[in-house]
C-alpha cells in the first residue's frame, strides 16, 4: 500500500510529502500534506469501478465544483491525467476539504440548528441536481444506475438484501414480499419521477460542515437515480429521532425552495433505501461491529417494509 502511495506522489509531483491513511472502506483515502497544501489521495478498491466510471465521476465532480458547490475537485497529475493505475490499483487525487462531518455536528446542535442544517442540505441537493441536469456530459460518460434493476433487480448494486444470511424466516418473507411489491409499484410510477444524476450516498458522514456552508464528499456511488431517493438516503439515519418530522420538513423545504420535487413517494424510497443497506452489509459481515450494524439494518428495513406493505391504498 505505501509503495503505491509513494509512486502516486511522484505522478502528482509531491515526492517525500507526508501522508496518512484517514479512511478505508470502498477506497483507501490518504491525506497528503505538501508545500502547496493538503490533498486527498484515493486508492480505489480493485474491481469496484471501471476506468470509464472513475473518469466520469471525476469529470462530473469537476463540473459540480465549477457550478459553485463545495466538493472535492480532481487534480491533474504532472502528465495532465486525472487517473493513474499503479500495480493494478486505480489512483486519483482530489482537493482537500476541511470541516467536521454533518453526523458529528448533528450530535452537538440544538433542534433548531439541526433543522437549519437539513434545510441547507436540501438546498445543496437541489443545486447539485440543477447543475447535473444543465451539464453536457462528455462522450463515453458511464456511471451506475439506481433504477429498478439497480435497486431491486436480481443483481442490485448493493447485493441481494433478501439473501442476507441473518434474516429470520419472517424477515425474509417480509423483504421478499416488499421487493415484489416495490418492483411493481416502481415500474408503475417511474415515468412520473424526477430521474437524473444523484450523489446516492449523502449520509451524514459524507457531508462536511464548514462554517455556515456544507460540503459534499465521496461521490463513489454517484450515478443515475430518482431524485427523491437522494432525500431518503439523507433522512434514513434519523428516522427514529425525536425531531425526525422537523428534519424531514426542513430537508424538503430547502430542496423545493430551489427546485420542484414530488415527495409523495418519499416513504416508499425510505423503505427501499433501508433494504439496500441489508444487502450492502452482506460482504462486510466479518468487519468489527458488523453484526450489530446488521441487526440495526434489518430491524429498520423490516419496519419500513412492513409499514409499506400494510398501508392502505398502496
Does the structure show a pLDDT above 60 at 207? yes
Residues 85 and 105 in one domain: no
Tell me the pLDDT band of 312, cut-offs 50, 70 and 90. low
Average pLDDT over all residues of the chain? 95
**pLDDT number for residue 219:** 96
* Range name among 16-20, 166-170, 304-308 with the lowest pLDDT average: 16-20
Does the structure show a pLDDT above 90 at 212? no
Q: How many helices (H) and strands (E) does the chain have?
A: 10, 11
Which triple of cell numbers denotes residue 266?
Answer: 418519499
pLDDT digits (tens, 9 = 90+) for 69-120: 999 999 999 999 999 999 999 999 999 998 899 999 999 899 999 999 999 9
Residues 82 and 132 in one domain: no
Q: Does residue 28 or residue 211 have the better pLDDT?
A: 28
**pLDDT number for residue 298:** 98
For residues 94 and 65, give the distance between their C-alpha atoms in angstroms, rounded to a whole number: 11
**pLDDT number for residue 230:** 98
* Domain C-terminal end among 68, 95, 122: 95
Q: CB 293: neighbour CB atoms within 10 A?
A: 16
Q: Is 55 helix (H, G, I), strand (E, B) or coil?
A: helix
For residues 207 and 201, give the distance between their C-alpha atoms in angstroms, rounded to a whole number: 10
* Domain C-terminal end among 69, 95, 121: 95
pLDDT digits (tens, 9 = 90+) for 276-300: 999 999 999 999 899 999 999 999 9
Q: Which alpha helices (H) appear in 45-84, and where do they start and end?
A: 51-66
Residues 69 and 147 in one domain: no
Residues 88 and 11 in one domain: yes
For residues 113 and 104, give the distance between their C-alpha atoms in angstroms, rounded to a whole number: 13
pLDDT digits (tens, 9 = 90+) for 30-48: 999 998 889 999 999 998 9
Does the structure show a pLDDT above 90 at 313? no
Does the structure show a pLDDT above 90 at 123? yes
Query: Burial code of 110-119, b = ≥16 C-beta within 10 A, e = fewer?
Result: eeeebbebbb
Residues 80 and 183 in one domain: no
Residues 72 and 170 in one domain: no
Which triple of cell numbers denotes residue 185?
Answer: 409499484
Does the structure show a pLDDT above 80 at 314? no
Residues 209 and 288 in one domain: yes
User: 131 vs 68, 118, 123, 164, 275, CA distance in Å?
Assistant: 9, 20, 12, 37, 29
Which triple of cell numbers denotes residue 207?
Answer: 457531508
Q: Specify the CATH number for the domain of residue 142.
A: 3.90.1200.10
Residues 40 and 188 in one domain: no
Q: Specify the CATH number for the domain of residue 25.
A: 3.30.200.20
Residues 129 and 231 in one domain: yes
* Domain C-terminal end among 95, 111, 146: 95
Residues 306 and 168 in one domain: yes
pLDDT digits (tens, 9 = 90+) for 224-262: 999 999 999 999 999 999 999 999 999 999 999 999 999
Structural domain including 25 reads 2-95
Residues 194 and 111 in one domain: yes
Q: Are 234 and 203 in contact (CB under 8 A)?
A: yes
Number of domains comprising the chain: 2
Residues 110 and 90 in one domain: no
Amino acid at each position: 500500500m505505501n509503495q503505491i502511495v509513494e509512486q502516486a506522489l511522484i505522478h502528482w509531483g509531491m515526492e517525500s510529502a507526508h501522508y496518512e491513511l484517514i479512511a478505508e472502506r470502498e477506497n483507501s483515502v490518504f491525506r497528503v500534506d505538501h508545500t502547496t497544501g493538503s490533498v486527498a489521495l484515493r486508492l480505489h478498491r480493485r474491481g469496484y469501478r471501471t476506468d470509464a466510471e472513475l473518469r466520469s465521476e471525476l469529470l462530473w465532480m469537476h463540473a459540480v465544483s465549477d457550478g459553485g458547490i463545495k466538493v472535492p475537485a480532481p487534480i491533474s497529475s504532472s502528465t495532465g491525467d486525472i487517473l493513474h493505475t499503479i500495480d493494478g490499483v486505480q489512483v486519483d487525487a482530489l482537493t482537500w476539504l476541511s470541516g467536521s462531518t454533518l453526523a458529528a455536528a448533528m450530535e452537538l446542535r440544538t433542534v433548531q440548528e439541526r433543522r437549519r442544517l437539513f434545510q441547507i442540505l436540501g438546498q445543496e441537493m437541489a443545486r447539485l441536481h440543477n447543475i447535473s441536469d444543465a451539464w453536457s456530459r462528455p462522450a463515453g460518460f458511464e456511471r451506475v444506475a439506481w433504477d429498478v434493476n439497480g435497486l431491486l433487480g436480481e443483481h442490485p448494486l448493493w447485493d441481494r438484501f433478501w439473501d442476507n444470511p441473518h434474516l429470520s424466516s419472517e424477515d425474509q418473507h417480509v423483504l421478499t414480499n416488499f421487493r415484489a411489491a416495490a418492483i411493481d409499484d416502481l415500474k408503475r410510477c417511474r415515468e412520473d419521477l424526477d430521474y437524473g444524476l444523484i450523489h446516492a450516498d449523502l449520509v451524514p458522514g459524507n457531508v462536511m460542515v464548514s462554517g455556515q456552508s456544507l460540503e459534499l464528499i465521496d461521490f463513489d456511488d454517484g450515478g443515475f437515480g430518482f431524485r427523491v431517493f437522494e432525500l431518503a438516503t439523507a433522512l434514513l439515519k434519523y428516522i427514529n429521532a425525536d425531531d425526525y418530522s422537523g428534519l424531514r420538513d426542513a430537508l424538503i423545504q430547502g430542496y423545493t425552495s430551489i427546485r420542484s420535487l414530488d415527495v409523495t413517494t418519499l416513504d416508499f424510497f425510505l423503505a427501499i433505501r433501508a433494504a439496500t443497506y441489508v444487502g450492502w452489509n452482506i460482504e462486510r459481515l466479518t468487519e468489527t461491529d458488523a453484526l450489530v450494524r446488521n441487526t440495526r439494518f434489518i430491524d429498520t428495513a423490516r419496519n419500513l417494509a412492513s409499514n409499506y406493505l400494510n398501508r392502505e391504498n398502496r
